[in-house]
Structure 1
């Protein structure tokens, strides 16, 4: 996560490569992406939501998406 924090503070996007099943490759930035999304979800999503499809989750999903695209560039 140190690399992620340093690059974000310098406004540098990290590159992520994907396999044929649209899954991020761990050795190509995918591990950092998954870790970052995990932290964002733990910070922003309350355990009171019963489903990811809950309508109230739309604003939370938007925040997570905005934070993700600020930090990562998918290739």
Structure 2
């Protein structure tokens, strides 16, 4: 289900795929976002990455796995 006013997805049983657009435009939107499951998943992902790299040097020799290489490729595409 989409809100006709702003086009942002609110709730739905089936995913609706559309071109990304800003949906956090007001303080109320920010509150809704920070209380959402998607926000919690995103923050959890970043925190898990943080834990994984603690104590690692930015320089030096290291092996880049296929998974890491593919993830970097996706992030470069998004960036």
Which protein is richer in strand relative to its size? 1
Higher relative contact order (CA 8 A, sep 6+): 1
Query: Does the alignment reach a TM-score above 0.5?
Result: no
TM-score for the superposition, normalised by structure 1:
0.31
